[in-house]
Amino acid sequence: MNLTPQQRSGIVLDYVFKIETEAETIWNMVSCPTLAGTIVDIPYFCKEFDLGGPLPSRFTSNGTKLQYDLRSFGLGRPVSQRVLFLDLFPDKFNDPDWTVSHLCHNERCYKPQHLWFEPLPVNKGRNGCPGPLHGCGHIHKCLIPGKFAFK
């Protein structure tokens, strides 16, 4: 992608603006998932999207996931949450070995504060993470324990 740093920043800021400003009418605020048998009393809320409802501007749906349409900026294709990291990791943006991790372990969450971009093995390793109360070892800390942390 041949974009200037200013263009990359503009796309990322537009993405964040759409999520933050349309949250009241389109995004569902839901509590972070918890795991049976664990104590998680962290008051975090995820922003999920109901694919059956109206789409926020510049977003499309592939039927199972909401996607941000980069075509409106004259670029390739719709992409999911990875657009948030276009400015931080331009060289990894199209790398299939890099993925968006959900620090809240909610795959439907689009809240920027709950997302991080990292290599796939690190992302998958989060599934067994004990979470912040039990020694999360990730640089960008998980918000709650992973789904296989206590099995």
Could you read off the pLDDT of 10-22 as tens digits, one per residue?
888 888 888 877 7
Asked, for residue 143, whether it belongs to a domain, the answer is: no
Asked, for residue 147, whether it belongs to a domain, the answer is: no
pLDDT at 74: 77
Structural domain for 79, as ranges: 5-134
Could you read off the pLDDT of 21-51 as tens digits, one per residue?
775 555 666 666 554 444 444 456 777 777 7
pLDDT at 58: 83
Asked, for residue 93, whether it belongs to a domain, the answer is: yes
Print the SS3 string covering the chain. Answer: CCCCHHHHHHHHHHHHHHHHHCCCCCEEEEECCCCCCCCCCCCCEEEEECCCCCCCCCEEECCCCEEEEHHHHCCCCEECHHHHHCCCCCCCCCCCCEEEEECCCCCCCCCHHHEEEEEHHHHHHHHHCCCHHHCCCCCCCCCCCCCCCCC
Domain harbouring 80, CATH code = 3.90.75.10
Asked, for residue 65, whether it belongs to a domain, the answer is: yes
Instruction: Tell me how many domains the chain contains.
Output: 1
Could you read off the pLDDT of 61-110 as tens digits, one per residue?
877 778 888 887 777 778 888 888 888 888 888 898 999 998 888 888 88
Asked, for residue 83, whether it belongs to a domain, the answer is: yes
pLDDT at 55: 77
Asked, for residue 140, whether it belongs to a domain, the answer is: no
The pTM of this model reads 0.79
